[in-house]
Structures are given as C-alpha cells and as structure tokens.
C-alpha cells in the first residue's frame, strides 16, 4: 500500500462527503423539492456551471483510457482529442439562453419535460425515457468499473472491496444531497482535474528532459508518432474529422449535458461559464492526452494502456503530490457517475412515475420515492459492476453516440424550428437509434467515418422530411415557445 498516496485521496473523499451533507440541509429546507433535488433550484453561478459541465463531460476515458491510447498512437490522438474543445462553448451558446428561458416558462426540470411540452407525444416520452435509462445505466457501470480498478491498483484491495468503498461514498452524497451536492462536488472535482493535469504535465516534461528531448526520442522510435496520422498511419483526416460530431457538436444531444443548460442562474453566469468551461476543457483534454504521448519515452514498454496514467504519476511525482493528481481521475469518474445517477433517477421519478403511475403524488411521496429510486438504481448498477457482463460494457461504448442520435435534432429543432412536429421527432429518434445500433454492430467505420456520422445525418433528413410531409397531410399549427 502507498500510504502517502492514499491519505490525500481519503481526505478528498471526506470533503466530498461533507458537501453532500451540507447540500442535504438545502434540500430539507427547500419549498420545491423537485426543482431543488433535480436542478439545485436553478441557482448555479458561472464558475459552478463551467465546472459541472466539464466534470460531467470529462470521464474515466479522458483520464485513464485516452492517455493510454495516446501513448500508443502519438500526437495524432491529441489532435483528435482537441475536437472536444467546442463541448465547452458550443452547447452553451446554442442551447444557452433560449433553452433556459423556455425551461423556466414551462417549468421543465428534465430534458423529457421539455420534449413533452414541445411535441405533446407519449411515444416520445417513452422512447426517450427508455434510451436514457438503458444507455446511461451502461455508461454508469463502465465508470464504476474504471473507478474500482483504479482504487484496486493503488491500494492493493480486492476489486470487489474497492468497488464497494468507491460506490458507497458516491451513493451516499448523491442520494442525500441531490443535484446541488452533485454540482458543488463537481466544482471541487473539476478544479482537481485541472490542477492535477497541469502538475502531471509539468512533471512529465521535466522527467523527460524537456520537450525537444521527448520529441527527439519519439522520432527516433517511430517518426509517425509525431505525425497527425498516428503511429500506424490509421488516423485518416476524414475519420478524425468525424469525431467533431461525436465529441464536439453532438454533445448538445446528451441529456446529462443539456439539463445543465437549464439550471444556471442568469445571463452573466452563462457568459462566464462559456469562457471558464472552454479554458478548462481545453486544458484537460490537451494536457491529459499530451501526457499520454510524453509518457512513452519517460516510461517505455507499458503494455496495458489503462495503466499508463497511474504508473506515470507514481513514477514522476513525490507520493503526496501523486495522491493529489490521482484524485483527478477519481474525481472525473465520480462526477460523471453522480450526474448520470441523478439524471436516471429524475427520468424514473419525474418522467415515468409522475406522468404515468401517480400524477397526483404529494410532495412527501415524491421525496421518499426520489430517495429510494436513486438508491435502488445506484445499488443495482454496483451489483452489475461486481461481475460486469460483456454486453453492458459494449453498450457503454456507444452510449454517447446512441443518446446523440436519439436527442440531438429533437432538441435543436424543437427550440429553433417552428415547423418541427412530433412525427418528425419520432422518426428521427427511431432512424437515429436504429441506424446507430446497426452500424456500430455490423458496419463499423462505414465509409471510413466514425459510426455516429451517418445516423446523425440520416436522423436529420428523417426529421425534416417527415415534419414537412406531416404538415402537408394534416395541417399542424406552427409551434413556438
């Protein structure tokens, strides 16, 4: 056991815990439980909004998986990772004020609330709820597995014990604190992610004897490591460019991100969040992936990509500092899981229970149901993660793309196109999800593009064509908020 590393990690967990308990007092004192528990009372300021966007978005793959791939691929992978820069400003600029104004007007708390009001269709509510629950459940589980593996490798505890410690601490603060606890801990976690990235990048450059030296050894090993095409020249410009859709632009369609665009306080917060968020995402994505590349000359011969980041940290930093830096991937994992957990729980309570099972539920009923639903979902995910089935791990890989194919156009056109109607939205959802599952299963990298590209384009066409036809066949009134 590396005690000097574990103590800072433990202190970090304690602080997170404290925030959950503090946020719980706000929940107890609030007069609208739903708004408070699932949206934190729409009170987020600029810094909080930026950090929660960043922390929700940056996950295990940004800190563990990504640097591992960069280690094997070279600078081309850093180039690809920079396609994520728009995730910091594009979502907030496009959804931004309109989404916030509309959400307040119709008192929407979830993304589905918005779709329900805009399209007035049960099919859409149910399709959306199912995709959110399935895709995010899988996504959460993979994060859990990543977190448990990280603790396992640092402490020497068994996988199951590591998983239980990790899961228990996250579950408790989310269940009692709700969205406010999630947003506040995200602020701390986001800051740790940025600080950790900068410390580790500097330490790695020093350990490698400067940038010139590192580049020199990369070129000596394989010149393609410093080209934009990757070590084995497999990164074509078309393939890399289509990542802009998956990890940059399509992010608008991710419910866990979109819901944040309706929970901030005022215009000023939005403006500040756009600047801080872009700087934060830029720093983390650039830093972590570059660290992965730089790790190659510093620590050659690491075979499992996922171990690059933890091993490098323990190698180039003194133990206490390593503890702080390794809190970063933990923070990234926790903050992603907590956002997904609260979102799945709001989908079940608000969109299914309140819509279909018990529309007249009292505030007290909603309150106990919310606590229980959040707990049960959390515990179920943990149970699945104890012995992760192959299929679900695979599902996670396309959770991002699946959600984007389902929601992107319904959200964007719902906000900005008068003639958008429920027929268009339903067909775009079905075409998007269907094609996406088909392509990622059977036709990987169709025409050399990422598998999300065609479903997004096809669901765009389906949305526009069907909306217009439906409008012709039966006069539907133009709808605008």
CB of 389 to another protein, least distance (A): 38
Distance CA 48, CA 185 (A): 10
The answer to whether residue 449 forms part of the interface with another protein (CB under 8 A) is no
CB of 326 to another protein, least distance (A): 25
Distance CA 48, CA 45 (A): 5
CB of 212 to another protein, least distance (A): 5
The answer to whether residue 32 forms part of the interface with another protein (CB under 8 A) is no
Distance CA 402, CA 455 (A): 9
The answer to whether residue 286 forms part of the interface with another protein (CB under 8 A) is yes
- Binding region for another protein (CB under 8 A) out of 82-90, 162-170, 345-353, 366-374: 82-90
Alpha carbon separation from 418 to 94, 286, 415, 464 (Å, rounded)? 16, 39, 8, 11
39, two tokens = 């949206």
- Binding region for another protein (CB under 8 A) out of 30-38, 84-92, 116-124, 433-441: 84-92
Residues numbered 89 to 118 that lie near another protein (CB under 8 A) are: 89-90, 93-94, 96-98, 100-101, 104-105
The answer to whether residue 223 forms part of the interface with another protein (CB under 8 A) is yes
Pick from 241, 355, 375, 445 the residue near another protein by CB under 8 A.
241
Residues 180, 33: contact at Cβ < 8 Å? no
Return the number of the residue (109 or 176) whose C-beta is nearest another protein.
109
Residues 385, 141: contact at Cβ < 8 Å? yes
Distance CA 174, CA 312 (A): 31
Return the number of the residue (36 or 351) whose C-beta is nearest another protein.
36
The answer to whether residue 75 forms part of the interface with another protein (CB under 8 A) is yes
- The number of angstroms, rounded, from the C-alpha of 176 to the middle of its chain's C-alpha atoms is 22
The answer to whether residue 201 forms part of the interface with another protein (CB under 8 A) is no
Count of residues in the chain? 481
Instruction: Show Cβ contacts of residue 169 under 8 Å, excluding neighbours closer than 6 positions.
Output: 13, 16, 17
- Binding region for another protein (CB under 8 A) out of 189-197, 213-221, 355-363, 375-383: 213-221
Return the number of the residue (107 or 363) whose C-beta is nearest another protein.
107
Buried b / exposed e over 240-252, threshold 16 CB at 10 Å, is bebbbbbbbbbbb
The answer to whether residue 12 forms part of the interface with another protein (CB under 8 A) is no
CB of 73 to another protein, least distance (A): 13
CB of 156 to another protein, least distance (A): 38
Dihedral angle, C-alpha 283, 285, 2, 300, nearest 10 ° = -120
Buried b / exposed e over 95-131, threshold 16 CB at 10 Å, is bbeebbebbeeeebbbbbbbbbbbbebeebbebbbeb
The answer to whether residue 219 forms part of the interface with another protein (CB under 8 A) is yes
Pick from 130, 164, 202, 279 the residue near another protein by CB under 8 A.
279
Compute the chain's Rg from CA coordinates.
22
Distance CA 437, CA 404 (A): 12
Helix, strand, coil share of the chain (percent; to 5):
85, 0, 15
The answer to whether residue 413 forms part of the interface with another protein (CB under 8 A) is no
Distance CA 161, CA 176 (A): 23
Pick from 44, 50, 55, 82 the residue near another protein by CB under 8 A.
82
The answer to whether residue 25 forms part of the interface with another protein (CB under 8 A) is no
Total number of residues that touch another protein (CB under 8 A): 49
Return the number of the residue (142 or 214) whose C-beta is nearest another protein.
214
Return the number of the residue (266 or 441) whose C-beta is nearest another protein.
266
The answer to whether residue 209 forms part of the interface with another protein (CB under 8 A) is no
Residue 267 Rama label (left phi>0; alpha psi -120 to 50; beta): alpha
Distance CA 174, CA 184 (A): 11
The answer to whether residue 238 forms part of the interface with another protein (CB under 8 A) is no
Name the DSSP class of 294. H
The answer to whether residue 416 forms part of the interface with another protein (CB under 8 A) is yes
The answer to whether residue 420 forms part of the interface with another protein (CB under 8 A) is no
- Binding region for another protein (CB under 8 A) out of 14-22, 110-118, 227-235, 451-459: 227-235
Residues 288, 194: contact at Cβ < 8 Å? no
Return the number of the residue (167 or 214) whose C-beta is nearest another protein.
214
The answer to whether residue 86 forms part of the interface with another protein (CB under 8 A) is yes
Q: Which residues would be at the binding site for another protein (CB under 8 A)?
A: 75, 78-79, 82-83, 85-86, 89-90, 93-94, 96-98, 100-101, 104-105, 210-212, 214-215, 219, 223-224, 226-229, 237, 241, 244, 248-249, 266-268, 270-271, 274-275, 278-279, 282, 286, 416, 480-481
């Amino acid at each position: 056991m590396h005690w000097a590393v574990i103590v800072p990690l433990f202190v970090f967990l304690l602080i997170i815990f404290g925030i959950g308990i503090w946020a719980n007092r706000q929940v107890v004192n609030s007069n609208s439980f739903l708004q408070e528990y699932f949206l934190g009372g729409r009170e987020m300021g600029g810094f909080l909004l930026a950090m929660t966007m960043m922390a929700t978005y940056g996950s295990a793959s940004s800190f563990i998986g990504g640097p591992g791939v960069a280690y094997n691929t070279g600078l081309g992978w850093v180039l690809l990772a920079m396609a994520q820069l728009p995730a910091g400003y594009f979502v907030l600029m496009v959804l931004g004020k309109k989404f916030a104004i509309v959400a307040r007007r119709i008192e929407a708390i979830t993304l589905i609330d918005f779709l329900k009001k805009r399209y007035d269709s049960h099919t859409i509510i149910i399709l959306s709820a199912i995709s959110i629950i399935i895709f995010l459940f899988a996504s959460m589980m993979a994060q859990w597995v990543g977190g448990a593996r990280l603790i396992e490798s640092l402490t020497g505890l068994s996988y199951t014990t590591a998983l239980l410690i990790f899961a228990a601490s996250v579950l408790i603060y989310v269940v009692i604190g709700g969205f406010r606890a999630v947003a506040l801990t995200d602020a701390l976690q986001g800051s740790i992610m940025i600080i950790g990235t900068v410390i580790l990048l500097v330490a790695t450059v020093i350990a490698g004897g400067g940038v010139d030296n590192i580049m020199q050894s990369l070129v000596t090993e394989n010149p393609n490591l410093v080209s934009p095409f990757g070590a084995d020249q497999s990164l074509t410009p078309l393939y890399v460019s289509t990542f802009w859709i998956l990890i940059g632009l399509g992010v608008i369609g991710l419910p866990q991100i979109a819901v944040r665009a309706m929970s901030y306080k005022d215009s000023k917060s939005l403006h500040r969040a756009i600047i801080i968020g872009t700087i934060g995402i830029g720093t983390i994505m650039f830093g972590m992936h570059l660290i992965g590349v730089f790790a190659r000359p510093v620590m050659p011969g690491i075979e499992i990509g996922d171990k690059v980041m933890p091993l490098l940290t323990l190698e180039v930093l003194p133990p206490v500092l390593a503890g702080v830096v390794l809190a970063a991937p933990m923070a990234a994992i926790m903050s992603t899981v907590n956002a997904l957990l609260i979102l799945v729980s709001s989908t079940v309570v608000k969109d299914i229970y309140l819509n279909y099972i018990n529309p007249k539920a009292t505030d007290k009923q909603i309150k106990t149901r919310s606590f229980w639903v959040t707990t049960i979902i959390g515990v179920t995910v943990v149970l699945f993660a104890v012995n992760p089935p192959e299929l679900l791990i695979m599902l996670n890989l396309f959770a991002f793309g699946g959600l984007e194919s389902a929601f992107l156009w319904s959200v964007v056109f719902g906000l900005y196109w008068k003639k958008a109607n429920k027929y268009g939205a339903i067909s775009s959802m079905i075409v998007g999800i269907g094609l996406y599952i088909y392509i990622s299963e059977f036709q990987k990298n169709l025409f050399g593009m990422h598998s999300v590209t065609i479903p997004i384009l096809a669901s765009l066409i389906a949305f526009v064509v069907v909306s217009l036809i439906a409008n012709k066949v039966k006069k539907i009134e133009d709808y605008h908020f």
